[in-house]
Structures are given as C-alpha cells and as structure tokens.
Structure 1
Amino acid sequence: MIYITRRERFNAAHKLYREEWSDEQNLEIFGKCSNPNWHGHNYELFITVKGEINPETGFVIDLKDLKRIITVYVTDVLDHKNINLDVNFMKGKMASTEVLAVTIFDVLKPHIDGQGAILHSVKLFETENNFVEYFG
C-alpha cells in the first residue's frame, strides 16, 4: 500500500453563526468569525489517496485525473465563493473548517474510489496555524 497526496488551493469567504442565536451569542461563541459582513481565507487542501501501484503505469492514480476530480467537484465549486451562500454541498451546514473537510471527503470519495485508488484523507488548512485532517 502506498499513499500519494495532491495539494490544491482556493480562496473563499464564510462566517460562523447560528441563525437561531442572537448576534450577541454568536459573537460570544464564534468571536470575529461571526462577522455579519463575512471574512475569508486562503485555504490549502491536501487530498491523500492510497492503493497499490499499477505495474503498467507505475501510478496509484494518474495525478492529472486526481487534479481534474478535485478541480471539478471541489475547487471550482469553492474558489472565490461564499461558502455559506454559494456552495450547494454546504447548504444548511455550519461553515467551519471541520465540517468543510468532512463534506469535501464525502464529495470526493465516490469519484476517487474505484479509479484504482481509495480516498485516504482530506487535510484542510484554513490558516498557516489552523488545519483539520479527516480520514472518513
């Protein structure tokens, strides 16, 4: 079993808030991340797949194919968008980095598994100091 990782980047805005809470309670729990006028991040996304090396190609998965899958289903959907408002797969979900990473995993898994590889993990950096990693 071997693991290979592809890094992609996207920029997106979001805010953390619960509609059923007052502005004061959202501010108390989420701080400036609940800014009514949103805020943004330059996200770094690491997708790790695993599998056996195909003896004919030397690949677990062709990285051009992996890039296309990530681009079509994730980065093109998220890049320069408002996660809370513009991203269908995040509708009705808290736009935290944790929830976003889990949802990205769920979105990518059916498109990666069966291509000779298995989706192993999603690592999502919100800032250089804060990231989440999800293994499914």
Structure 2
Amino acid sequence: MKQNKVAVYRKEHFNAAHRLHNHAWSDEKNATVFGSCNNKNFHGHNYELIVKVTGEPNPDTGYVLDLKVLSALIKKEILDQFDHKNLNLDTVYFQQVNPTAENIAKVIYQLLRDKLDEQLELKIFLYETERNYVEYPA
C-alpha cells in the first residue's frame, strides 16, 4: 500500500509559571518529591512547543493543513490561555491536575485535537528546558 502521508510542524513559545504540588500529600512529602519545583511562590519556564500534524496532502491545495490555520489555532487555544500565566491559578486545566510537563502536553493535545479533522494525526512536543522535553502521545 502506498504511503502518502506528510508531517508538518509548527513551533511556538510561551512563558508560564507553575508549582508542582500534590494536595493529598504533606508539605514535607511535596518538598521531598518535587524539590525546588514545589516553591510555594511558584517558578517559571520558557516553554518551547512543537505541534506535529500528519496526514495526506489535499489534492487541491497540496497542504496537509494550512500552517496559517494551525498557527491561529495554537494562538487561540494555547498561547492566549497559557502565555504569561500562572498555570495553577490562571487556568481551569490545572486546578485539580498537577501542571507537570507531561500533563501540560496532554492538555495541549486535547485542546488542539478537538479542533482538528479526525483524519489528521497529532503529536505534541513540549520543551520545559533545553534538555527536558516530553512527547504526547508517545
């Protein structure tokens, strides 16, 4: 069977603060498990986000997905909600969910997945630092 799929990528950037904290645990256990990431005054990251969309190019346009459309979608669904925000306090997504890079990537995936054609495959790469990043789905 002939494979005609192509992957397109969009790279974005946002800054956000968060605190890793499990409300079911004692302060001591949180400090032990999360270390400085449990700072009660929060801490921030300069996140790099890469969104990968895979599908068959449209025969009329040649696009898998118009990257202007993807850019606008990421801005509306992710950047406008997360950039220069405290993820714990300023978003509904992390009031009950610990805002680890893993969980942030899962939330980003769901926010975008709901807006994309079901025929398109989606993958999120989220860099919390230059050396630490997550991929979802793996």
Answer yes or no: same fold by TM over 0.5. Answer: yes
Residues 1:19 and 1:126: Cα distance change in structure 2 (over 3 Å) = same
Residue type at the aligned position of 1:13: A
Supply the distance in 1 between the matched residues of 2:31 and 2:95 (Cα, whole angstroms).
22
Is 1:31 aligned to 2:24, yes or no?
Answer: no
Residue 69 of structure 1 is matched in structure 2 by 73
Report the RMSD for the aligned CA atoms in angstroms: 1.3
Residue 127 of structure 1 is matched in structure 2 by 129
Structure 2, unaligned runs of 5 or more: none
Q: Is the 8 A contact 1:44 1:126 kept in 2?
A: yes
CA offsets 1:60-96 (integer angstroms, 9 cap, x no match)? 1110100011110111100000011111223310110
Greater helix content? 1
Residue type at the aligned position of 2:132: N
TM-score by length of 2: 0.92
Q: SS in structure 2 opposite 1:112?
A: coil
Supply the distance in 2 between the matched residues of 1:107 and 1:60 (Cα, whole angstroms).
19
Report percent identity of matched pairs: 44
Shift, 1:119, TM fit = 3.6
Q: SS in structure 2 opposite 1:132?
A: strand
Shift, 1:135, TM fit = 2.0
Q: SS in structure 1 opposite 2:114?
A: helix
Supply the distance in 2 between the matched residues of 1:12 and 1:94 (Cα, whole angstroms).
14
Structure 1, unaligned runs of 5 or more: none
Q: Is the 8 A contact 1:66 1:112 kept in 2?
A: no
TM-score by length of 1: 0.93
Supply the distance in 2 between the matched residues of 1:128 and 1:112 (Cα, whole angstroms).
28
Supply the distance in 1 between the matched residues of 2:59 and 2:87 (Cα, whole angstroms).
41
Give the number of equivalent residue pairs.
Answer: 134
